[in-house]
Amino acid sequence: MKVAVVGATGLVGTKMIQVLQERNFPVTELIPVASEKSVGKEITYAGKIYKVVGMQTAIDNKPAVALFSAGGATSLEWAPRFAAAGITVIDNSSAWRMDPDKPLVVPEINASVLTAADKIIANPNCSTIQMVVVLNPLHKRYKITRVVVSTYQSVTGTGVKAVNQLLGERRKAFGELTDYPMAYKYPIDLNVIPQIDVFLDNGYTKEEMKMIKETCKIMQDDSIRVTATTVRIPVMGGHSESVNVEFEKEFELVDIKQILQAAPGVVLVDEPAQQAYPMPMDAHERDEVFVGRLRRDESQPRTLNAWIVSDNLRKGAATNAIQIAEYLAAQKLI
């Protein structure tokens, strides 16, 4: 089928094209789409060269599906136009996630909500995706009542400018560079920044509120209480999360491990005696979500501590979007 990738020259768009090829998605023609300044650039896919086109040209080519990674404002303007042309949009921005009429999908959890009538499908926030992939199978068994999550997020979540800032700071430290772009207000190397996205009136950042709201929508349970602190760190391999989970029912750690070992998309790495636990460098370029450091919270009953890691450009963005497209194709919904 014809597949459009909107934002094809960005970090996530580039990763989408890579993952499409790796997973052998049935692409007969790739339509790379980007801003006007990138129109005419060439992208190689499966041995063929495709030229980047603009939005309207992409619509006129009538792809079956359009993978959007071009920001919220662009999605709000153009996703409805693609949808009106009968094209199924899978959108990676935050624009449609909390729209009650748009499905917010992590395929391992709630792909079954999708229908042929869904022409705009929201891809969740990267940090939310990796957390709910681990939490959902435990919720089914024990019912989660409360989640406290602190994130340690890669600079790749901000984009190429942030990557260049981190690398620029390191090169400057060795006298190799004098100038570099600033994606953040502060240095990121040898530092952590306890702010991701803008602050809201309640003192939380927009990123923190995304995790709070999206978790309940994906897991289809508004009774789950979630609180979050999201932090940017000088890492490029993926996002990490410290998650404290309170259950309604009592659990045994051995059962928790068995559930997670059997959960789709989850890899258990939990051998503290061997110093084996998930790290971003191990999750880099992997599609799975890794979990470890499992231990009972001894300060209160029925509560578990866990450490969750995933490549934010893959499962946190590109891979999840393509898994949605795979489900749609398998169910003949596109």
- Catalogue the active-site residues: 126, 239
Q: How far, in Å, CA of 204 to CA of 226, rounded?
A: 12
> Hey, how many other C-beta atoms are within 10 angstroms of the C-beta on 229?
16
Task: Give strand pairing partners of 304.
Answer: 245, 296
Phi and psi for 260 in degrees, rounded to 5?
A: -70, -35
At 86 the three-state DSSP class reads coil
Q: How far apart are CA 63 and CA 227, in angstroms?
A: 40
The Cα 258–Cα 260 span in angstroms is: 6
DSSP assignment of 130-184, as one string? HHHHHHHHHHHHH-EEEEEEEEEE-GGGT-HHHHHHHHHHHHHHTTS-S----SS
